[in-house]
Amino acid sequence: MHDNLLIMFVKYPRPGYVKSRLAFKLGDIEATRVYRSVTENLISAIVQPSKDACYEIAVTYSPAEAAQEMRAWLGSGLQLIAQSGANLGERMQKAFSDGFSRGYKNIIIIGSDCPAVTNELIISALEKLKSHDVVIGPAYDGGYYLIGLCRSEPKLFAGIDWSTELVLKQTIERCTALHRSYVLLPELRDIDRIEDLAYYRGLGMIL
């Protein structure tokens, strides 16, 4: 067992369940296809390198009743754990708490909609946790695509305006209020809007 755990938050790609802002422009079917493609590419980019790296991988998924569909989609080689919690903050805190209770020393959570996340970025984030309490990957839209902790921090996820442009700002303010040191990674784009998809396609990514 490694000391480090990478947790990827994934939604099962059902039309109407994922990427609502993208679906407004592309329609539910195409938005779901894009989400599925981004998730599969991201998993491919980190799973194989992780076999020689310093972390294990788990996928925590929603909806909780989609266990069979998730196994059929992603296979049985990954840890698959159902999400629980009333909002994103509760679900992340539960994932961190469960991971630390299982003996992991450093845990990083990423979403499944940022194609620019790489194995090298994850290793860099883990390295920064040696000297900081919290590592955060800022997203272009004011949220974050990655957050890492070296111990459970329940108060870090309470009272945040999730799914708004205030998430990063409020999280940094919470770190300061809790006297927790933090460090920021490079800013990257999640794929939430048609402009984000066009940005990555402009970089030559086939999504």
pLDDT at 194 over 90: yes
**109 is a domain residue:** yes
Nearest to 129 by CA among 144, 145, 151: 151
Please count the CA atoms within 13 angstroms of the CA of 136 that sit on its side-chain side.
23
End-to-end CA distance of the chain: 34
pLDDT of residue 82: 96
**206 is a domain residue:** no
Q: What is the mean predicted confidence (pLDDT) over 180-187? A: 98
CATH number assigned to the domain comprising residue 133: 3.90.550.10
Number of domains within the chain: 1
Q: What is the pLDDT of residues 17-29, one digit of tens each?
A: 999 999 999 999 9
Q: Identify the bridge partners of residue 127 per DSSP, sorted by sequence position.
A: none
**205 is a domain residue:** no
Domain region containing 169: 4-199
What's the whole-number average pLDDT of the chain? Answer: 93
Q: What is the mean predicted confidence (pLDDT) over 168-181? A: 97
pLDDT of residue 183: 98
pLDDT of residue 44: 87
pLDDT at 146 over 60: yes
**204 is a domain residue:** no
Alpha carbons 13 and 98: distance in angstroms, whole number: 25
pLDDT of residue 47: 74
pLDDT at 177 over 60: yes
**125 is a domain residue:** yes
Sole residue written with tokens 């800022």: 138
Omega cis (within 30) before 63: yes
Q: Rounded to the nearest 5 degrees, what angle is found at the Cα of 97, between the Cα atoms of 102 and 127?
A: 80
Beta strands in the chain (DSSP E): 4-11, 55-62, 79-82, 106-110, 134-138, 144-149, 182-184
**134 is a domain residue:** yes
Sole residue written with tokens 């009743």: 65
Starting at the edge strand found earlier in the chain, the sheet holding 4-11 runs 79-82, 55-62, 4-11, 106-110, 144-149, 134-138, 182-184
Q: What is the pLDDT of residues 116-125, one digit of tens each?
A: 999 999 999 9
Q: What is the mean predicted confidence (pLDDT) over 106-133? A: 95
Alpha carbons 10 and 113: distance in angstroms, whole number: 9
Alpha carbons 120 and 132: distance in angstroms, whole number: 18
Which contacts qualify for 14-18: CB closer than 8 Å, 24 or more apart?
Answer: 17/63
pTM score, whole prediction: 0.95
Is the Cα dihedral 158, 111, 125, 140 positive or negative? negative
Alpha carbons 124 and 118: distance in angstroms, whole number: 10
Which of the two residues, 146 and 48, has the higher pLDDT score? 146
Q: What is the pLDDT of residues 40-92, one digit of tens each?
A: 999 988 876 556 678 999 999 999 999 999 999 998 788 999 999 989 999 99
**195 is a domain residue:** yes
